């Protein structure tokens, strides 16, 4: 039945890259990019708790407007930011466990095509952190972000949606990096 299923999504760690453009002493635009994240999706709760539904990959580029505080120390540069995240999902696949379960429940047969699709997502991103100047060109970067990545997952049989469920990834993103100033 509609609304009868919830899902969980596992964690993943990837390499990231940021590009900053400083408008003035206090205002910066930051583009956050990363190598593709990969997540396993499973049923959460109900009679089939833990059933692997499938997996997906995604790229979540995020644009953040930052405000940098003047704390009277030219080496320490704390900031907060707010921005917009766009997440594109790809390489979705339904798990063998899902396919077997649907066959056992007589929802599908072995000849049916069972697929998983996730829709692209737009969401809010919040960030806090600091930069620390190591030399004229080099610095360290520390940040934590909360990103709103909500999407709709669809289990499809022969291209017909048989179950639609809200998928909330909503990660905390921790970033430690080395920066170079041009």
At 56-86, the pLDDT tens digits run 999 999 999 999 999 998 899 999 999 999 9
For 9-38, b where at least 16 C-beta lie within 10 A, e where not — what string? beeeeeebebebeeeeeeebebebebeebe
C-alpha span between 97 and 65 (Å, rounded): 43
User: What's the rounded Cα separation, in Å, for the pair 173 and 13?
Assistant: 9
| pTM recorded for the entire structure | 0.84
From residue 135, alpha-carbon distances to 64, 69, 98, 146, 178 in Å are 25, 20, 54, 30, 12
How many angstroms separate the CA atoms of 98 and 96, rounded?
Answer: 5
Euclidean distance between CA atoms 68 and 130, whole angstroms: 9
Q: What is the mean pLDDT of residues 90-113?
A: 93
Sign of the torsion formed by the C-alpha atoms of 30, 32, 147 and 154 = positive
Counting every residue, how long is the chain?
182
Spatial separation of the C-alpha atoms in residues 99 and 50, rounded to whole Å: 14
Q: What is the pLDDT of residue 9?
A: 86
Q: What is the pLDDT of residue 50?
A: 83
pLDDT for res 4: 60
Give the Cα separation of 5 and 25 in Å (integer).
49
On the 0-12 / 13-18 / 19+ scale of CB atoms within 10 A, 119 is middle
Residue 6 confidence class, pLDDT cut points 50, 70, 90? confident
């Amino acid at each position: 039945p509609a609304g009868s299923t919830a899902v969980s999504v596992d964690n993943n760690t990837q390499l990231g890259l940021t590009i900053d453009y400083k408008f003035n002493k206090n205002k910066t635009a930051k583009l956050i990019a990363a190598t593709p994240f990969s997540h396993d999706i499973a049923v959460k709760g109900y009679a089939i708790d833990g059933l692997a539904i499938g997996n997906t990959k995604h790229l979540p580029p995020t644009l953040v407007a930052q405000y940098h505080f003047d704390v009277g120390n030219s080496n320490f540069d704390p900031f907060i930011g707010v921005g917009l995240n766009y997440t594109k999902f790809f390489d979705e696949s339904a798990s063998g466990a899902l396919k077997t379960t649907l066959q056992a429940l007589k929802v599908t047969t072995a000849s049916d095509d069972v697929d998983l699709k996730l829709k692209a997502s737009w969401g809010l991103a919040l960030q806090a952190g600091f930069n620390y100047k190591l030399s004229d060109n080099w610095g360290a970067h520390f940040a934590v972000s909360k990103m709103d990545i909500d999407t709709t997952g669809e289990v499809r049989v022969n291209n017909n949606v048989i179950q639609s469920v809200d998928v909330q990834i909503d990660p905390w993103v921790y970033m430690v990096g080395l920066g170079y100033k041009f």
